[in-house]
Amino acid sequence: MTRGRRAACAIFIAGLLALGCGRSTTSPRKESKSGAPAPMPRLLVEPSRFDFGIVEEGGALAHVFTLENHGTAPLMVQAMPTLQGCTGEAVPRQLAAGARGELRVRCV
């Protein structure tokens, strides 16, 4: 596997996490009637870094990341883009506050 392909997979994963996750509630800037900040999701991904190592040309890359919502509002995975043969699947697509899920990534 070339460095370019590994880099593309790493960018794909970062894009999934940055662009694919969002709120399922109202705007994050609003405050409650008491003046406290509005509930917001907060995503934690484990591992935060992953090295696919050396992969034979034409070999597949696959890894399962753990997603956890450390926030106080539901977190919704909204979009799962495809980039250079890499796909991702979040299970479940919505994480309640305190809930855990998985992001299954595969690049062929």
Q: What is the pLDDT of residues 18-33, one digit of tens each?
A: 544 544 444 445 556 7
26-30, 38-42, 89-93, 100-104, range with the lowest pLDDT: 26-30
| CA–CA gap between residue 97 and residue 4 (Å, rounded) | 37
Per-residue pLDDT tens for 43-56? 999 998 888 888 88
| CA–CA gap between residue 25 and residue 73 (Å, rounded) | 7
Residues 6+ apart with CB under 8 A from 101: 66, 67, 68, 90, 91, 92, 95
The reply to whether omega before 47 is within 30° of 0 (cis) is: yes
| pLDDT (0 to 100) of residue 19 | 45
pTM for the full predicted model? 0.69
- Judged on CB neighbours under 10 Å (0-12, 13-18, 19+), 82 is exposed
C-alpha torsion sign, points 10, 12, 18, 23: negative
| CA–CA gap between residue 55 and residue 100 (Å, rounded) | 29
Per-residue pLDDT tens for 73-90? 999 988 777 777 888 888
Where is pLDDT greater, at 108 or 65? 65
